[in-house]
Amino acid sequence: MSNYLVHPVSTVGGTIRVPGDKSISHRSLMLGGIAEGITEVRGFLESEDCLATMKAMRALGVRIDRIAEREVRVHGVGLRGLRAAGHALDMGNSGTAMRLMTGLLCGQSFDSELIGDSSLMKRPMERVAVPLRMMGARIETHEGKPPVRVKGGATLRGIRYELPVASAQVKSAILLAGLYADGETVVVEPGTTRDHTERMLRTFGCELTAAQREVRLSPPARLEGCSLEVPGDFSSAAFFLVAGSIGQGNGLTVCGVGINPTRTGLLDILALMGADLRVVNHRSAGTEPVADIEVRPAKLKGIHVPPELVPLAIDEFPVLFIAAACAEGETVVTGAEELRVKESDRIAVMAEGLTALGVECEVLPDGIRIQGRSQQHVFAGGQVHSHGDHRIAMSFAVASARAAAPIQIADVANVATSFPDFPGVARAAGLNVELV
Ligand code: S3P
């Protein structure tokens, strides 16, 4: 088992870049694969999860060439051009990949089976199977979990579906199935979630409207191959936005970060806590907005996180809990029960690690209450367990900016699913992360 040993540091700073966006990289392969002609993707995230999606798309008959570092060329086979893989498709650690692929595969003429690693095999899949069955798909799960078996040859019809949970993955799975349905597909969200699928579908020439949390898609005759640029992943930048806020130093800049407003809830939450953040050099990567983000150390204060910001910061809570531990007073998160069904139960696992490092916290059914302290050494040294969750592992590495002694973080191999060179980038920002 690989572990991190992170040493306390006195300053955090510098100028760094983070790797490409995971959500956008997955989607670029799936949509590129069913488009007509070539799709070139620059800034592609070469992480284990995205490479699993690449392998799956290749197994379905799509030629994908790596033409340079972080650059791939997808030879799209058209909406009806995929063929049976002949074996189960292994989606690794990624719930996004499995759920989106379920939507894509239920409109095909052949049968498919989706499996994943031990974490993914425990995650709920009925949330996509239920609406897809309403569209006519034939899907089986094992007690609600993978393996997911998708029967080919189903006739799909468009539906209007009100999502019971705010989930971009469920929304996207339905939209992908909608590409193969008769009639219009309408998805209504209870709260705003990331809209990368909608933006990218438009880039591929698909007509789609989105207004007041309602997305409408009419099945296109074809998707057109295109050029895509993947911005730096805001969720990877998040670790450094918190490190720069709680550490000491002259400031840290993260360059080329995707700032799609459906992803940047953490900026609003940190601002409410008193963080000193500046978003500068606004530009775009195709339809996705990009900027550099500057962060300076600040005295943070505890807050009650507004529940409407939860879906906009859904992957950033582990590292936000680290910020909360360094914020004077109490921070309360509620309405975040979804955290319990991510790569780990992120409420329970973070609470366990925070407690091990001497931070007082109370687990709530749908969130957490954290007693923060503004002293220099907030975290005692010691051992924490990531439970194989990449974002938990990286979050506790950030704690080293305010730790009294080294922290050993167990089971960090899955960091490679989203952020292959995390230790190197962390070192460039002044953190001292050793793989042991
Ligand atoms: C993702 C959506 C989110 C997020 C996940 C990536 C996506 O999941 O947690 O890491 O790419 O659509 P939910 O939509 O299920 O909340």
The verdict on residue 265 lying in a domain is yes
Q: What angle do CA 88, 89, 95 make, to 5 degrees?
A: 130
Atom of ligand 1 nearest to the CA of 23: 11
In a domain, 221, yes or no: no
Closest CA to 280 of 313, 253, 241: 253
Task: Assess whether the C-beta atom of 315 lies below 6 angstroms from ligand 1.
Answer: yes
Same domain flag for 143 and 10: no
- Residue ending a domain, among 170, 190, 216, is 216
167 lines ligand 1 (CB under 6 A): yes
Which residues are designated catalytic? 315
Specify the DSSP class assigned to residue 224. B
Residue 272 shares a structural domain with residue 419: yes
16 and 27 together in one domain:
no
Q: Which pLDDT score, from 0 to 100, does residue 105 have? A: 98
* Ligand 1 binding pocket includes 169 (Cβ within 6 Å): yes
Q: Which residue, 108, 123, 213, is CA-closest to 160?
A: 213
Ligand 1, atom 5, lies closest to the CA of: 96
Pairing of β 71-77 and β 63-68: antiparallel
Distance 92 CA to ligand 1 centre (A): 15
Domain membership flag for residue 414: yes
Q: Please list the ranges in the chain whose pLDDT falls under 50.
A: none
Q: What is the CATH number of the domain that holds 203?
A: 3.65.10.10
- Spacing, Cα 37 to ligand 1 middle (Å): 28
| DSSP-assigned beta bridge partners for residue 73 | 40, 65
Q: Is the CB of 314 under 6 A from ligand 1?
A: yes
Q: Which of 123, 187, 194, 198 has the most ligand 1 atoms within 8 A of CB, as the residue to mutate?
A: 194
Residue 203 lies in a domain: yes
| Domain endpoint, select from 184, 216, 248 | 216
Give the residue among 370, 373, 371 at the shortest CA–CA distance from 347.
Answer: 370
Domain finish residue from 216, 243, 260? 216
Pair (315, 424) in one structural domain: yes
- Ligand 1 centroid – CA 299 distance (Å): 31
Per-residue b or e along 206-234, where b marks 16 or more CB atoms closer than 10 Å to that residue's CB: bebeeeebebbbebbebbebbebbbbbbb
Is 257 found in the same domain as 207? no
Residues 375 and 423 in one domain: yes
**Which tokens is 346 given?**
């992120």
CB 25 near ligand 1, within 6 Å? no
Q: Could you identify the atom of ligand 1 that is nearest to the CA of residue 168?
A: 14
Report the nearest-CA residue for atom 15 of ligand 1: 167
- Name beta bridge partners: 217: 185, 208
Non-local (6+) Cβ contacts of 143 within 8 A are none
Q: Is 412 exposed, middle or buried (0-12, 13-18, 19+ CB in 10 A)?
A: buried
Point out which residues pair with 368 in neighbouring strands. Answer: 333, 363
pLDDT at 10: 85
- pTM over 0.85? The answer is yes
For ligand 1, say whether the CB of 402 is within 6 Å of any of its atoms: no
Q: Is the CB of 338 under 6 A from ligand 1?
A: yes
Q: Give me the DSSP letters along 117-155.
A: -TTGGGS--HHHHHHHHHTT-EEEEETTEEEEEEESSPP
Residue 25: is it exposed, middle or buried by C-beta count within 10 angstroms (0-12/13-18/19+)?
buried
Q: Is the same domain home to 212 and 289?
A: no
CA of 55 to the centre of ligand 1 (A): 21
Neighbouring residues of 375: CB distance < 8 A, sequence distance ≥ 6: none
Residue closest to 34 by CA, chosen among 175, 184, 193 = 175
Say if residue 285 is in the same domain as residue 409. yes
In a domain, 45, yes or no: yes
Contact 354/318 with Cβ under 8 angstroms?
no
Which amino acid residue places its CA nearest to atom 4 of ligand 1?
315
Does residue 238 sit within a domain? yes
The rounded distance, in Å, linking the Cα atoms of 155 and 309 is: 38
Cα(first)–Cα(last) distance of the chain, in Å?
9
User: 417: Cβ below 6 Å to ligand 1?
Assistant: no
> How far apart are the CA of 85 and the centre of ligand 1, in A?
25
Token representation of residue 117: 């690693």
Residue 328 CA, ligand 1 centroid: distance in Å: 30
How many domains does the chain divide into?
Answer: 2
Residue 264 domain boundaries: 3-20+231-435
CA 124 to ligand 1 center in whole angstroms: 13
In a domain, 345, yes or no: yes
* Residue 225 belongs to a domain: no
242 and 349 housed in the same domain:
yes
Mutate to test the pocket of ligand 1, among 101, 167, 288 (most ligand atoms within 8 A of CB): 167
My answer on whether 280 and 357 are in the same domain is yes
In this structure, are 201 and 312 located in the same domain? no
- Give me the pLDDT at residue 174, please: 99
Does residue 235 share a domain with residue 93? no
